[in-house]
Amino acid sequence: MRFTKPAWVIHQVTDGTKSENAKRLPIFSVHVHPDGSRIATGGLDGKVRIWSTKPILNQSSELSNKPPKSLCTLSMHTGPVLTVRWAHSGRWLASGSDDAIVMIWDLDPHGSGRLWGSDEVNVEGWKPLKRLVGHESDVTDVAWSPEDRFIATTGLDSKVFIWCGFTLERLAKLDLHQGFVKGVCWDPVGEFLATASDDRSVNIWRTTDWGLEACVTKPFEHSPGSTFFRRLSWSPDGAHITASNATNNNGYVFTAAVITRSTWTSEISLVGHENTVEVASYNPHIFLRDPSMPVVTSNICSVVALGADDLSVSVWQTKSARPLIAAKEVFERPILDLNWSWDGLTLYAVSSDGTLGVFNFDVEELEGIAPRDSQKVYLQKFGFIPPPLPAGYTHVPAQMQPNGRSKVTINGSTGRSTPPLTPPRQTPTMTNGFGGTPGLGSEHVNTLVARKGGKNKKRVQPNFVGSLGASGSTIPSSGNVPSSNVDGRYPQQHVSHSGDVGGNVPISTFGRGFESAMDLDLGGDFDRAFEGGMDMEVPINSLDSRSRRNFGDDTKVPKARTLGGDRVRNIGDNEVREIKVAPRAEIMVNSVAGSSTSLTFPSPSLKTYFSVKVEDTGDILEARNSEDTSEPAEVTFQGSKDKSVQWLDYLPSRVTALAGTSRFCAVAMEDGSINLYSHTGRRLMPSINLGLPIAYFDASKNFLMAVTSSGTMHVWNAKTLSAVHPPVSMSPLTSCLLPTAPTPELPNGLTPTITNISISPNGVCLVQISSGLAMSYDKNLMNWVRVGDVWWASGSTCWKTRPRTSSVAFSSSSNSGSSSSAANGIVASVEARISESVSSSATQSEAEKQRPDWWGPALTLGHLETKIHVARMLESTTEYRQALLLYARTLADEGFRAKAEELLRELYGPVYWRPGKSEESWSPTVVGLQKRDLAKEVLTIFARSKTLFKLAQEYQDLLKKSVAED
């Protein structure tokens, strides 16, 4: 067995170029084309990427770049792509995304060329054929049934949709799951469908009427609900389902459950992984225990691969109690998807660390592979007769035979293909103005065919190319296909328990009725990526070959312009000189008894030059001020890969501060006004006029914060173009800036100062004070709250006195849904800054003072309770969960039953609440986590405490009862 991890298979932040050293984004799914020539991957960048497998498996091919490594990038999704699956015919590709859309892609012979907006080149083209609309949340998994008769899709809306694999119309909606549905697989016989859900069940559905055959719950009663997926797989002999995310021993042993057909029970578990099993994938071949014996039930076994959150992959053969291989720590993050090549010798695995791993086996290592024909014969013993195809549809290959039937060669044998892109050209009978006979439900398309005209011109006129009807090519939208075309056993009505969802939305409609020829100037400077002798052809054996687009026209297209783009950035003109202005007031605290307090800030000094690096992208935003007040200020924007100005603007007032994120750029001016720009230089809103100079200016993600010299704080959401909350006065913070009591070392005491004001990625303002305080404005409480206090360092056992390596107050990686450790989160960064601002000797002396008996527990609980509320306000999911579990552990160690019971009541909520019910006084989630899932983790901690054991047992019984009732 050979293992490789090609570094060039990567999903990354789009900046117009590709680099193997760029920051990798998680890859959620991988699938091998049936002919093994390519794989498709889906990732956090919202792209579907198609790669050639030959450079992965053959080092000489990788070094020569023949065929090219990256074949195509598809970018129609608006959210992360969670699943990609090729049809068994190899002609279509399905992808599901966070945008709740399932996209069906078809080969586009003329779609190759430079990818719009980047330096990538698509060697081959795939075009969106149809959008399957119906899910109301993330699409987590997609599966094609045997012979591509159906497509099943699952999502976080707890629904399963069944679509016709030919017409792409929706046939059924299955909505009996009570939790996120995260996995789906088809019975190779075609009789059943299996789905796995966070409601801790695997449902088996009949394909004859889409009714529920069985609901399997026993191996999943204690399975965690925090995994990305619950991907399951059906064995190629149809005898078993291997389901991920199962547990034994009340949840303490992580397993994959093997469910037996017909009885639908799980008496076998695959044990060995040290964390949750995320995905199971069967080798597509039946294996023989004794290769010299015939293919009978007693001589059959299967090979299944498991990927888990313990960073390892295992491969099992069902005739052995031990795995064939256990590849430990081959990835740095959990494994999210596995898929075998059609020959059964190569296993592909992807991980949330953004890498692809490939296990390539020798035939001797996987001994006993049965021929494909014998597998088909064996499956016939089940006696299931698949439904007939929809009337007028068939998976015909591209090349038509004289007898009207068709044939395609797949690896030397006759096989199937989905409908070709364009039916063969024929001479139509003009009976309805477009060819064909009216009333037969067929759609006719005219295409533009170029012919040479004058110099540097081409004439284009429409030529009729045939019908898209009964055996045509492109699948029409659901509105163009009569319901009678679908077989009567699968009625057009949706099998649903909760109402219907809207129909499908086609990607495009075809133009009709070109009456005359049109003259179009098609001259252009096309990218000649296919010249120079590179071997660009990667044949798909199951697809018909098409001629490439002709790039022979040398006519030049004028280069696109940018505002200021003809000017090269002058680095030598960046001298920074301070501009003298009238003196401004320093921080002033009025604390006279009986008078109102106020807080003012100095404005930043005016300089001739400012610059700031844009968050995440590395682009540079610059501003230049003239010492002559009559001259305008200039703002310029340069891309990180470019030496020229991308755009510029001139401003009537001098610039005092700049801020930039990956979403927008902002400029603050001397007269108190603010401009917001997109990265192309377009103004996102009119200039905001605050009326006073801006003392603090910061941006993160979609949020912008400005604090005026009068101490008024403003926060805006640049995405929604709205204020997060009304302007807020910072005067209440004056009490935190009063001088400390005199000491022998400081006879006049110490006057604290505000050291920093920042904005978090979720739009929360944070103020750091030199005395060891951190304050934030809570828009729900409409008041300033303490989010960090050096006071906790004097007694809390959970206070980290050692400063973190990061000195940044906020990090986008600590936002909700982050997978980074809590030590690098927002709350941890706040406490790190407090530790840095206060001397370690002072903190140590405070800790060594004589304290009351309950000092430690009281401060530890107070610290953790504050940390829980702060993590929730800052939407730091990882830190919220960590603080909650630390708090539960402290309650268990101390035996505080009253506090423990109150915590459980808050997490469990009303006894009568069930998933799907609304409750005004209680929310079932907090910072994106299910409260009852958190309650189960807390109960695990309480169950280890002698004092809290009985309480934990009561609530565990209550949780089991509610799950059983669901």
- Cα gap 648→631, rounded to integer Å: 16
Domain that holds residue 682: 609-729
Rounded (10°) CA dihedral 699, 705, 706, 712: -160
Residue 489, domain member (yes or no)? no
Q: Which parts of 688-811 fold into alpha helices (H)?
A: none
The phi-psi region of residue 692 (left if phi > 0; otherwise alpha if psi is between -120 and 50; otherwise beta) is beta
Q: Distance between CA atoms of 148 and 171, rounded to whole angstroms?
A: 14
Q: How far apart are CA 924 and CA 912, in angstroms?
A: 12
- In this structure, what DSSP letter does residue 431 have? S
Q: How many CB atoms lie within 10 A of CB 548?
A: 14
Residues of the chain with pLDDT under 50: 16, 397-537, 541-553, 584-597, 802-823
Whether cis (ω within 30° of 0) applies to the bond prior to 604 is no
pLDDT tens per residue across span 459-499: 444 443 333 333 333 333 333 333 333 343 333 334 444 33
Whether residue 622 is contained in a domain is answered as: yes
d(CA 387, CA 491): 12
CATH code for position 676: 2.130.10.10
Domain ends where: 680, 711, 729? 729
Specify whether the CB–CB gap between 949 and 942 falls below 8 A: yes
**Which amino acid appears at position 143 of this protein?**
A
Burial (CB count <10 Å: 0-12, 13-18, 19+), residue 684: middle
**Residue 880: strand, helix, or coil:** helix
Residue 632 lies in a domain: yes
Kindly report, residue by residue over 274-313, the tens digit of the pLDDT: 889 999 999 999 999 888 888 888 889 999 999 999 899 9
Query: Distance between CA atoms of 29 and 45, rounded to whole angstroms?
Result: 12
CA angle 549, 555, 557 (to 5 degrees): 95
- Cβ neighbours of residue 110 under 8 Å, at least 6 residues apart? 125, 546, 548, 549
DSSP string, 607-641: BSEEEEEPTTT--EEEEE--SSTTSPEEEEEE-TT
Contact status, residue 838 vs residue 791, Cβ threshold 8 Å: no
Four-CA torsion 302, 307, 311, 316, nearest 10 degrees: -10
- Candidates 925, 921, 888; CA nearest to 903 is 888
pLDDT of residue 542: 45
The neighbour count for residue 281, using CB atoms within 10 Å, is 26
pLDDT of residue 748: 77
Q: Are 302 and 236 in contact (CB under 8 A)?
A: yes
State residue 500's pLDDT score: 39
Cross-strand bridge partners of residue 308: 277
Q: At what angle do helices 931-942 and 897-908 cross, to 10 degrees?
A: 150
The 3-state secondary structure of 583-613 reads CCCCCEECCCCCCCCCEECCCCCCECEEEEE
Tell which residue, 48, 66, 56, has the closest CA to residue 125. 48
User: Kind and range of the H or E element at 958?
Assistant: helix 949-965
Q: Are 774 and 833 in contact (CB under 8 A)?
A: yes
- Coil, strand or helix: which one is 178? coil
pTM, rounded to two decimals: 0.48
Q: What is the DSSP string of 80-125?
A: -EEEEEE-TTSSEEEEEETTSEEEEEEEETT--EEPTTSS-EESSE
Angle between helices 826-837 and 877-894 (to 10 degrees): 70
Ranges assigned E (strand) in 468-584: 505-506, 518-520
Instruction: Tell how far CA 888 is from the center of its chain.
Output: 31
Q: Which amino acid is at 97?
A: S
Question: What is residue 842's predicted lDDT score, i.e. its pLDDT?
Answer: 56
Instruction: Determine, yes or no, domain membership for 931.
Output: yes
Q: 3-state DSSP call for residue 154?
A: strand
Residue (of 660, 750, 659, 662) closest to 707 by Cα position: 659
Q: Show Cβ contacts of residue 898 under 8 Å, excluding neighbours closer than 6 positions.
A: none
Which of 694, 729, 764 is a domain's end point? 729
Last residue of a domain, one of 709, 729, 749: 729
How many structural domains comprise the chain? Answer: 2
Residue 51 φ/ψ, nearest 5 degrees: -125, 150
Q: Integer distance in angstroms from the first to the last C-alpha of the chain? A: 46
Residues 6 or more apart from 554 whose CB is under 8 A from it? 525
Domain membership of residue 704 (yes or no) is: yes
* Measured distance CA(231)–CA(247) in Å, rounded: 15
Identify whether 679 is part of a domain. Answer: yes
Cα(67)–Cα(171) distance, integer angstroms? 40
Q: How many CA atoms lie within 13 A of 778 on its CB side?
A: 16
Q: Is residue 227 part of a domain?
A: no
Q: What pLDDT score does 855 carry?
A: 87
Domain-embedded: residue 762 = no
| Nearest by Cα to 120 from 196, 19, 7 | 19
